[in-house]
Each structure stands twice: as structure tokens, then as C-alpha cells.
Amino acid sequence: MYEIEPVDPATFGPRKIGAIRHNYHEHPMFRLDALAALAHRLMPSGKCRFAKPGLRPDSPFEHEDKAYDGRSLDEVLQRIEEPGSWLALYNVQVDPEYDRLLRDVQRRMQQLVAADQKIFDVRGFIFISAPPSATPFHIDRENNFWLQIRGHKSLFLWDHEDRQVIAAPDVEEFIMFGSLGNVRMREGTLERSFRFDCGPGDGVYFPSTTPHMTRTEPDRVKPGDAVVVSIGMVFYTDVTRRHARTHALNWQARRLGRSPTSPGRSDLIDRVKEPLGLTLVELRRRFRGYKPPPGIR
């Protein structure tokens, strides 16, 4: 049996950062040979993503569907232990074997997140790297069960309601258009973070729009074990969808000179705003050519 459990069940909640434990690092589908085979199956659809060595926490979060130096996928995998290597496998649920795995995980995630929230659209993102490497500071629109599978990685997270870290208009812009242009780590930001140093079997749950970044360090590498693997199992709920629609309405209200209340502060206000936000999204889709991002419709 493979399980995910909160480290502190008494304080664990769907709108809070929380440490978790798991045993998915023992699952055969997360061995390096299995992940290499998965990468080859995903490569033709552009779901293998590559980044240049030397990314820093404050770098733009940019990656491409081809290796920056023209190497083939086989060459990247053969040299994955070289310092600074970085490969991500996006949306692994499109592969039938990994889709079945994620569906099994979904049942446990549903129990942990809350009985009154319905989970949908579960996706998987697997990150394979060799220290030193970093995933730059950014936010996601989904909730995330982040599991460390192999090696050691430091995960830095910030309260998703801390507007000194990311201003509300920048969160709204991201929810509406996926823009991370203003979502950057600035001076003094790191001091406001929560740090989790994770090895195999460790993990962290964090809710939608939680700022986060990761870092791997060469001094944590053991001989013969230079590759670091982690997976983000991400998903939406009816609550994340309500909040996304509230962000959409807030984006429009701010253009009209208003200072709207952020989602999560009042469930009543969010429930009033939700249908109005959805109407705005549909009108922009129908008459302005707007393409709504995932999790908002």
C-alpha cells in the first residue's frame, strides 16, 4: 500500500501549508529507468521540458520543449547526473499508466483535503535534476501535494495571503492570463518564507497561489546518488474554482478603480462574486476571443 499522511493531522487543512509523509519513493514507477521510459513516451507531445543550467530563485520561470544546447532526450538522460541538469515531465496523467497511479492517489487526497470539497482534474509534474539547481520563484493555480522521491531538495513556501510577497493585482493577472511577469522574488522576500528540507518520503501540501521555489545543493549529494526527483500532484477543487472566478471579478473591479476583497476572506462574498466572475469570463470568451485557463470554468 502506498500512502500520503499529514505529519500533524490536528493542524492539517486545505487552505494551509502542511508537512506530509509518504512512501511513493518506493513505488517502481518512480525509478529512474521507469521515468526515462515515460520521458520518451511524452517527448513527442512536447511534455518534456528543459531549462538552462544556472537558474536562480529570482530567474524568470522559463523552460522549453527542446534542450537548450540541441542535445537529444537520450543524451540529456545519459548526462542527467551532471551538475545543473534539469528535466521536467509535464502532465504525466496523459500516459495511461501514470493516469491510473494518479487516480489511486486522488482517493487519498480527497480524504485529506476535506469531505466538503470535490477534487477534479488531477495532474502530475515530475522534476528530475542534479545539484546545484533551482526552480525559480512562482505560483500555480492548483493545490499541490509535493512529494520528494529521490535525493534531497529544499522547498521554500510563502503564505498565499501575504500581499507583501505578491500583490493582489499580480495574483489576479496570473489567474486570468497566466502571466508571471510581476511574480518575482524581491529583496527581503526570502526572510518571509517557510523552509522544508526534504528527503525521500518527505513532502509538503500547499494551496493554490502559494508562492514557492526549490533549491538543491551539491553538499547533500551522496556518491552514486546525484539525481534528485520530486513530483507535484496538483488538482483543483470547487473551492479553487470559486476563488479563481472571484479573482476574475476582482481583476475587472480593479480596472474600474475599486479595491476588492481577496478570495478566502469571506465565504459569503466569494459565493456572491463567483457567478459574476464566471459571467465575465464567458463574455470575454465569447466576444473578446479570451481563452480561459484551466480551473476557472
pLDDT at 241: 96
Band (296; pLDDT cuts 50, 70, 90): very high
**Which pLDDT tens digit goes with each residue over 135-152?**
999 999 999 999 999 999
pLDDT at 61: 80
Exposed/middle/buried for residue 59 (C-beta within 10 Å: 0-12, 13-18, 19+): middle
CB 203 within 8 A of CB 20: yes
pLDDT at 186: 86
Whether pLDDT at 69 is above 90:
no
Band (64; pLDDT cuts 50, 70, 90): confident
Whether pLDDT at 56 is above 90:
no
Averaged pLDDT, 245-271: 96
Averaged pLDDT, 105-129: 90
Whether pLDDT at 261 is above 90:
yes
Averaged pLDDT, 281-285: 97
How many CB atoms are closer than 10 A to CB 172? 26
pLDDT at 167: 96
**Domains in the chain: ranges and CATH:** 4-239 (2.60.120.650), 241-288 (no CATH)
Residue from 243, 247, 241, 248 nearest 288 by CA: 248
Averaged pLDDT, 274-290: 97
SS3 sequence of 180-193: CCCCCCCCCCHHHC
pLDDT at 202: 98
Averaged pLDDT, 15-25: 97
Whether pLDDT at 218 is above 90:
no
CB 155 within 8 A of CB 204: yes
Band (24; pLDDT cuts 50, 70, 90): very high
C-alpha cell of 285? 470568451
Return d(Cα 37, Cα 26) in angstroms, integer: 18
Whether pLDDT at 115 is above 80:
no
Band (20; pLDDT cuts 50, 70, 90): very high
Band (25; pLDDT cuts 50, 70, 90): very high
Return d(Cα 293, Cα 174) in angstroms, integer: 10
**Which pLDDT tens digit goes with each residue over 233-244?**
999 999 999 999
pLDDT at 117: 83
Helix (H) / strand (E) element for 92: namely none
Partners of 133 in beta bridges: 216
pLDDT at 52: 79
Provide, rounded to the nearest whole percent, the portion of the chain with pLDDT above 70. 99
Residue 64 carries which side chain, given as an amino acid letter?
E
CB 198 within 8 A of CB 214: no
